[in-house]
Amino acid sequence: MSHTLSRGLLALAVLIVYLLHQDLWLWRTARPLVFGFVPVGLFYHVAYSVLAALLMWLLVSRAWPKHLEQDAERHGQDRDRSA
């Protein structure tokens, strides 16, 4: 998969997760109570937090800006030497 396509798909994934925050379909209902005590609207957003963590894992593993780190380390060492 090309670099641009991969970045595009990740951006689309971020947009979809952002939009999923607006769960209008669970707005007016408390039932079912998940595990017998968590209203479904609250459970959805708990699951959403886990989904956000999975998305972050995907971003970190597929789109980590390695070049920034390499540049910074190199220039940082230069800066330390000059100091």
Does position 7 bind another protein by CB under 8 A? Answer: no
Least distance CB 60 / another protein (angstroms)? 5
User: Which residue in 8, 12, 53, 62 binds another protein (CB under 8 A)?
Assistant: 53
Alpha carbon distance 22, 20 (integer Å):
5
Identify which of 10, 2, 5 has the alpha carbon closest to the alpha carbon of residue 61: 10
User: Which residue in 2, 4, 50, 81 binds another protein (CB under 8 A)?
Assistant: 50
- Contact positions toward another protein, by CB under 8 A? 14, 17-18, 21-24, 26-31, 33, 36-39, 41-42, 45-46, 48-50, 52-53, 55-57, 59-60, 64-65, 68-69, 71-73, 75-76, 79
